[in-house]
Structure 1
Amino acid sequence: MSLVFCESYYEVDPTLEEVKQEICNLVGLPEIKTQLETIVEKITDASEYESGGFTVIPPKPFHMVFVGNNGTGKSIVAQILGKLFYLAGALTSYTVTEMQGNQKMKNAEGGVLLVNIDEEDPINSKTLEEIIAAMDEGSTSVIFAGNHKALNQYMKFNNELYKRFSARFQFDDLTCEDLAMIMHRKANKVEDNLLCGLELDALCSAENIAQIIAQVTPENLRSMLNAHLLDQMLIEAKKLTDELGENAISLRDLGIGIEKGAQIYKNLLNM
């Protein structure tokens, strides 16, 4: 079950320092951070060689598999990789074009094509042929993303596709502490129109939020949706705070919002 599909565009070219900060800001994903930092080191080394008068041949874009449940950061990491490949000279664009596997083929235009795989919505043969052609053409980096079951089920019947992937990133489920940290950051993002005007009171520490999440949300729901749970939880908490005429969300209101948000998803998923 994939929830969000989008195309990411940027107005200003990224710098390596900005991308390094994005990597540092990732919540959880220690092994993936290490993989990304290795790519940063290679870009830095290449830049130093060029400064020393050596000719550096840009690498070719490679194709990857992202294995993980919903809400574990696959789209965010794809955006970071797009910028790194662009800075390395492997791609001519750092746009990430995201598509559902059963949709018509989208043109990533020299950037990253992120293909979300769902076992219930397989890619038709024509779209698969177009994706393989884009991989072989060499100007686009293709990422297949989905949970282990969906990808394993798909790849074992598509060896021609599987052998074209050069790297595999494993996205583990987020811990309650990870979710609490992300929730804390979301509440402080003033540019998020959906959740604007939020303010957490002093008792809403990441530690206290993590305890509530662990107590009132089932583990299987957290594993299924991870960070996708959080917006609805904050919205429910804000509703209660607005009804009470309070300026800041209290720990009690947040706890109720977390529980209500979880229940909404449990109902939607018939859990």
Structure 2
Amino acid sequence: MDIKLRYGNGGGSKNKYRGNLSEKGKISSLVEQGEISPAKALRMLKSGNGKADTGGNDSSASRKTNGVNKGQVQESSVEDVLAELNQLVGLEAVKHLVKELRAFIDIQQQRQQMHLRTEPLVMHMIFRGNPGTGKTTVARIIGQLFKEMNVLPKGHSIEVERADLVGEYIGHTAQRTKEQVKKALGGILFIDEAYSLARGGEKDFGKEAIDVLVKAMEDHKDDFILILAGYRDEMDWFLLTNPGLRSRFPIHIDFPDYTVDELLGISDLMLEKREYSLTPGAKVELRKLVNNKLIYGHEHSGNARLVRNIIEKAIRRQAVRLVNHHNLGRKELMRITPEDLREAVKNDS
């Protein structure tokens, strides 16, 4: 996994690591609106306090939240987000980068408090990899992390593709693209298959979307993070279509296909979440199936969608096998057999 990271120019400038003073309200309402995570809500409920601070900046170092220094509450929230990232299978280089970004931002905030010069961090990113390799999930986690660190006031993720940006007539594309940027302010704008915006030549409306995005990166440089994602070769080609694009995206992350062991680890998590389990024979069968798919299957078979499809089909095959049985016990309802797995891939080409 290749990562390229560059910090922005202008070391003498003051960086704006800011967050809003957020509204206070009922915990349940904040969770429903996506303003706080369930983990944070649980901590607040345990504290017995029905009020919540959604992570805004506080200029007073002595301010307390539920009897705890607010910096400590923020640190706990950051650790929750990092724990979510660390639970992902593989992606070690991505985890390392996020740890580096977290450390850099933290030190810059401390320097700002001491009235020292701060280094601005250019955070727009390019994610390169096949579908199902974790790009969208990582983008969401980065948004939440930057929210908890008061870099982004909201940290939400707006996920779009070409059809959401490109219009049908002159001027329509600019309008649609600006609307998506507006939705993303305070968080992440994630564009999947971004290279498709450059297809079609000079007269294609996708070029208009690119121009609007480039301008938005200047006009709202402190207000949102733009992440462009897609296949590696296509994204490399895309960056060559506009001379100013590559320099605006200093963080490049490659998401490789998962190995057999990583895919089996992902399947374990999927099964645990759904409260199913593999018999010893089924574990051997799944390894064989995954290995064969990687060797003889599609060139992009090595991603999480492969095991997800197998597991979901196996669960349906198990249901067919058990539906006419009576007095089924807990173990029978949870157990996935080798035959369930073989049936799941029986008609796959």
TM-score, normalised relative to structure 2: 0.62
Q: Give the SS at the match of 1:97.
A: strand
What amino acid maps onto 2:191 in structure 1? Answer: V
Asked if structure 1 preserves the Cα contact closer than 8 Å seen for 2:260 and 2:291, the reply is: yes
Establish whether residue 199 from structure 1 lines up as the match of residue 276 from structure 2: yes
- The one of 328, 331, 334 aligned to 1:248: 334
Establish whether residue 109 from structure 1 lines up as the match of residue 169 from structure 2: no
- The one of 190, 208, 232 aligned to 1:126: 208
How many residues get paired?
Answer: 247
Establish whether residue 25 from structure 1 lines up as the match of residue 90 from structure 2: no
Query: 110-119 or 71-80: which moved more?
Result: 110-119
Query: 229-238 or 58-67: which moved more?
Result: 58-67
Identify unmatched segments of 5+ residues in structure 1.
Answer: 1-7, 191-197, 267-271
CA shift in 2, pair 1:189/1:206, >3 Å:
same
Q: Give the SS at the match of 2:310.
A: helix
Query: 163-172 or 83-92: which moved more?
Result: 83-92
Paired position in structure 2 for 1:67 = 128
Asked if structure 1 preserves the Cα contact closer than 8 Å seen for 2:285 and 2:338, the reply is: no
Asked if structure 2 preserves the Cα contact closer than 8 Å seen for 1:213 and 1:258, the reply is: no
1:222-261 superposed matches below 5 A: 223-224=300-301, 226-245=303-322, 246-256=332-342, 259-260=345-346
- Post-superposition CA distance 1:145-198 (Å, at most 9, x none): 0111211221111122222111101111111111111111111214xxxxxxx5
- Alignment partners' CA distance in 2, 1:133 and 1:257: 52
Paired position in structure 2 for 1:193 = none
1:38-117 superposed matches below 5 A: 38-45=100-107, 54-55=114-115, 59=120, 62-104=123-165, 105=177, 106-107=180-181, 108-117=184-193
Asked if structure 2 preserves the Cα contact closer than 8 Å seen for 1:68 and 1:147, the reply is: yes
Shift of 1:200: 1.2
Shift of 1:253: 3.4
Asked if structure 2 preserves the Cα contact closer than 8 Å seen for 1:234 and 1:254, the reply is: no
Larger Cα Rg: Structure 1 or Structure 2? Answer: 2
- Post-superposition CA distance 1:13-61 (Å, at most 9, x none): 58111112122112112211111121233345456668xx635869555
- Alignment partners' CA distance in 2, 1:65 and 1:201: 37
- The one of 265, 272, 287 aligned to 1:188: 272
- Alignment partners' CA distance in 1, 2:296 and 2:35: 36
Q: Give the SS at the match of 1:228.
A: helix
Paired position in structure 2 for 1:163 = 247
Shift of 1:219: 5.0
CA shift in 2, pair 1:61/1:112, >3 Å:
farther
Shift of 1:88: 3.1
Paired position in structure 2 for 1:210 = 287
Shift of 1:102: 4.1
Asked if structure 1 preserves the Cα contact closer than 8 Å seen for 2:281 and 2:338, the reply is: no
Paired position in structure 1 for 2:14 = none
- The one of 224, 236, 254 aligned to 1:140: 224
- Post-superposition CA distance 1:208-244 (Å, at most 9, x none): 6333310355455262561122332122111221122
Asked if structure 1 preserves the Cα contact closer than 8 Å seen for 2:258 and 2:303, the reply is: yes
- The RMSD of aligned alpha carbons is 3.0
CA shift in 2, pair 1:211/1:117, >3 Å:
same
Query: 168-177 or 235-244: which moved more?
Result: 235-244
Q: Give the SS at the match of 2:191.
A: strand
Shift of 1:260: 4.2
Q: Give the SS at the match of 2:245.
A: helix
Asked if structure 2 preserves the Cα contact closer than 8 Å seen for 1:70 and 1:225, the reply is: no
Asked if structure 2 preserves the Cα contact closer than 8 Å seen for 1:114 and 1:145, the reply is: yes
What amino acid maps onto 2:251 in structure 1? Answer: A
- Alignment partners' CA distance in 2, 1:90 and 1:61: 12
CA shift in 2, pair 1:117/1:205, >3 Å:
same
Q: Give the SS at the match of 1:78.
A: helix
